[in-house]
Structure 1
């Protein structure tokens, strides 16, 4: 019975990155041996145990054999005859197939350390194609490590494209697609996740609403990058640069879905794309099981982002309409997220990355002034029924009018 540190912990240590969690592989043991040593069994599909003191996961070395479609279609084998190399060979990328023993010696049968030095994400073996989740995982690793100079090996991209062509990607369950997407959105380079999916043909299968934006032009005056899909990914990169939440980043990803529905004879203009985008955003969220908070912010950004962009030009009454439509009085924190999404959108254009976005400060001030109007004071003035709401609106508009004076 011998224990090895494996996977991401070894990889991140070699890269000089913080190690968030540690996984271990145990060779030469049976489940009975583990329980006798005080480990607590927790694995459902294959034997995994929690260390009696540290609580860290220890899995018995295993092999796997494809038995069906999708990522559930595997038969696992564990036994004292399974070697460490057997276990490492079933892993996805060489940089994740490095182990370290108790004496600090590395076991690296597939050249993972060499690929770390070369900044290369490369598959371990052709068995890689048997698990469609690996396509999402590679895209996620690319989103994490591309800012460090990593790229995906050409031969690995070829395998990913083959998985798409063979239909393996169509067997991914929506919950897993969203799980990997949400984790990727939180990373330093979330746009890389979608770039790789598009390069290997998977974006059209998993995110058809986003894929449809590529090749759709916008006015060059406002969008020097021209392409709507490219703009979306530039905006997503800005949202990451601004260190926003995954909900904000998802809203940025979705905000222009309506441009894919503009008739070609109207290009490059996209009048009404905000309202047109609501249906495809809903469809995407329903298909993937997107959490309500993410969905609602994405719908809000889709429908109202142009109003936010034009905030300095809007009449006070229209600003109040925007605040009410966004439910800003009851949910100011979500309105703040809307402003962040719109700022990322505005900066997600070639040459606009460092531009100021005064619209956000303008609307924050407008909300503060409007919220300061006392509904109780109006109610206590003797007004009743609809007259209270009319007076409240009148006073809020007057308060918002002060913002123009502040400028």
Structure 2
């Protein structure tokens, strides 16, 4: 029995990056031998075990063969006669197909170290084209390591195009697409994930609403970059720069989808694109089975992001309606996410990257002003039922009027 550290841990060690989790491959062992040494079996499709002390995953070396459609359409063979190279050849990228024995040298049968040096994301074997999930995984690695200069190798991108055209992407289950997408959105360069998908034809298959923005013009005065899809990439760059959370990043991904439905004769204006964007975000969220709060925030940003941009001009009554629709009194954390997404939208434009965005501070302060209304005092004045509700609303609007006056001083 031999045990090897494999995959991402070896890759990141060689890159000088922190290793967050370790995966191990066991060569020359049987499930019974593993359990006899205290390893706990957890794998359903193939033998995977948890170390009795560290709880890290140890998988028996295995091979795989395509047996159906999608990323789950494989049969696996794991036995003591499977070699380390047999196991590594089934992996996606050469930089993920290296191993290291404890205290030993790096085992690199597919030149992963050379590709690390060349900053290339290259497939290990033609079997890469059998698994549609690898299109998403490679795009995500491109987003993760873009800052180091990595790019997808031309021959690998060709295989990704082949996969996109084959119809195999249709067999990816929504939950898995969302899992990869949500992880990619939180990478250092999330826009690269979608750019790679676009380059290989997968964006049109998985995110047709986003692909439809390619080439759609916007008013140059507000959007010097003009192209709506480029604006999307710039927004995601800002989201990473501002360290926004997943809800804000997904909302940015959806906030301008409605512009893809604007009749060309109306370009470059996009009248009422906010409502269209909100509805289209709901469609995307339903298709991908996006978590409820994440989907809700995306719908709200789609509908109200231009309200946020104009916050300093809005009447107190309109500001209150906005805060009420955002449900900020019960969900105060939602407003911070909302204004963060709107700020990234405002900065996600060529030449506007460092512009001040006082609207965010203004709305946060407005929410505080509305929140400070003394409801018990109104009850003591005799208000109750619907009259109390109306009195509270008017008190909050008055508080917002005073807040606006003090802001403008």
**TM-score of the pair, normalised by structure 1:** 0.98
Once the two structures are superposed, residues 165-203 of structure 1 have per-residue CA deviations (whole angstroms, 9 ceiling, x without a partner) of 111111111110001001111111111111111110001
Look up the SS of the partner of 1:248 in the other structure.
helix
1:368 — aligned with what? 368
Stretch moving more, 170-179 or 383-392? 383-392
1:385 deviates by 3.4
CA contact under 8 A between 2:251 and 2:301: conserved in structure 1?
A: yes
C-alpha distance in 1, partners of 2:386/2:43? 61
Stretch moving more, 341-350 or 36-45? 36-45
1:341 — aligned with what? 341
2:407 — aligned with what? 406
2:237 — aligned with what? 237
Look up the SS of the partner of 1:5 in the other structure.
strand
1:261 — aligned with what? 261
Look up the SS of the partner of 1:72 in the other structure.
coil
CA contact under 8 A between 2:308 and 2:342: conserved in structure 1?
A: yes
Look up the SS of the partner of 2:271 in the other structure.
coil
Once the two structures are superposed, residues 46-89 of structure 1 have per-residue CA deviations (whole angstroms, 9 ceiling, x without a partner) of 11111122211111111111111111111111222211111111
Look up the SS of the partner of 1:46 in the other structure.
coil
2:277 — aligned with what? 277
1:296 — aligned with what? 296
Stretch moving more, 255-264 or 48-57? 48-57
1:19 deviates by 0.7
C-alpha distance in 2, partners of 1:73/1:198? 25
Uncovered stretches (5+) of structure 1, i.e. residues with no partner: none
Q: How does 1:347-362 map to 2 (within 5 A)?
A: 347-362=347-362
1:8 — aligned with what? 8
Uncovered stretches (5+) of structure 2, i.e. residues with no partner: none
C-alpha distance in 2, partners of 1:401/1:333? 23
C-alpha distance in 2, partners of 1:23/1:405? 58
**TM-score of the pair, normalised by structure 2:** 0.97
Alpha carbons of 1:383 and 1:80: their partners in 2 closer, same or farther (altered >3 Å)?
Answer: closer
C-alpha distance in 2, partners of 1:181/1:96? 20
Once the two structures are superposed, residues 94-141 of structure 1 have per-residue CA deviations (whole angstroms, 9 ceiling, x without a partner) of 000010012231100101011111111110000000011111110111
Stretch moving more, 317-326 or 158-167? 317-326
Look up the SS of the partner of 2:58 in the other structure.
strand
C-alpha distance in 1, partners of 2:29/2:390? 76
C-alpha distance in 2, partners of 1:217/1:90? 44
1:139 — aligned with what? 139
Look up the SS of the partner of 1:77 in the other structure.
strand
CA contact under 8 A between 2:278 and 2:301: conserved in structure 1?
A: no
C-alpha distance in 2, partners of 1:404/1:134? 56
1:264 deviates by 1.0
C-alpha distance in 1, partners of 2:286/2:115? 39
1:404 deviates by 3.2
CA contact under 8 A between 2:29 and 2:60: conserved in structure 1?
A: yes
Look up the SS of the partner of 2:373 in the other structure.
coil
- Matched length: 407
